[in-house]
Amino acid sequence: MPKQVDHQERRETIARALWRVVERRGATHLTMREVAQEAGISLGQLQHYFTSRAAMLAFAMDLAGEQTARRVGRGLAELGERPHPRDVLRVTLVEMLPLHADARATSRMGAAYVLEALHDEDVLARARGGLLQGRAMVEQVVRQAIADGLIAPDRDAVVETDLLLALTGFTTLLELRVIEPVAVLAAVDRHLDGLFARF
């Protein structure tokens, strides 16, 4: 009896192969043939799952987003019931930064996807939608913290959300080894301390 193929598992195998290729060589010259070779399958098999490079990239990016969400979810679960919003924001920000192997893989995939989005309106719409959803979640935490009196009432939730998300800009400095992880974490903590300072 032939072995049943788990199609979702095969798609994830292909996506992870794509991540590895991107991590090694970047996304500029990424081809479906190269990803197929990395995944240990034929080009025809890959094309059975993804009919285009854009479709393959979109799935790989969705998987990267899911992986980040899982890491954030695990970090939040470790905080216990009713965690302080400062801790929620810290976990969220830290897991978006390339501070360990899994986060580096998803971060580099994200960077490749942004480059693709600049030249493809469909990819742009998909990427933008995901980022807007994540931004809305952060803003919700900030707004609730203001309402609960944990952040000063004169703070603008929109501006504070933008400033928090700007901290993910440390990604480039980390990837190019301009700044060390300990310095990034110190900056994140300093910013959060200022945001949640008693007034």
Assign 3-class secondary structure to 128-188. Answer: HHHHHHHHHHHHHHHHHHHHCCCCCCCCCHHHHHHHHHHHHHHHHHHHCCCCCHHHHHHHH
- Crossing angle for the helix pair 101-117 and 85-96, to the nearest 10 degrees: 70
Q: For position 1, what pLDDT does the model report?
A: 45
Residues 174, 184 contacting (CB under 8 angstroms): yes
Query: Is position 37 within any domain?
Result: no
Residues of the domain holding 156: 60-195
Confidence (pTM): 0.83
In this prediction, residue 199 has a pLDDT band, given cuts at 50, 70 and 90, of low
- Give the CATH number for residue 67: 1.10.357.10
Long-range contacts of 180-184 (CB under 8 A, 24+ apart): 181/99, 184/97, 184/99
For 99-144, the pLDDT digits (tens) are 988 888 888 888 888 888 888 888 888 888 888 999 999 999 999 9
Cα–Cα distance between 134 and 69 in angstroms, integer? 10
Q: For position 79, what pLDDT does the model report?
A: 94
Residues 109, 22 contacting (CB under 8 angstroms): yes
- Residue range 72-85: average pLDDT? 94
Flag whether pLDDT at 4 surpasses 70: no
Query: Is position 111 within any domain?
Result: yes
Query: Is position 25 within any domain?
Result: no
Residues 18, 56 contacting (CB under 8 angstroms): yes
For 41-64, the pLDDT digits (tens) are 999 999 999 998 888 888 888 888
Q: For position 21, what pLDDT does the model report?
A: 87
Residues 104, 95 contacting (CB under 8 angstroms): no
Flag whether pLDDT at 3 surpasses 60: no
Query: Is position 179 within any domain?
Result: yes
Token pair recorded at residue 117: 């989005």
- Crossing angle for the helix pair 53-78 and 101-117, to the nearest 10 degrees: 140
Tell me how long the chain is.
Answer: 199
Query: Is position 141 within any domain?
Result: yes
Q: For position 190, what pLDDT does the model report?
A: 97
- Residue range 82-108: average pLDDT? 91
**What total of structural domains would you count in the chain?**
1
Query: Is position 32 within any domain?
Result: no
**Residue, of 108 and 177, whose pLDDT is higher:** 177
Query: Is position 115 within any domain?
Result: yes
What does pLDDT average to over the chain? 89
Query: Is position 149 within any domain?
Result: yes
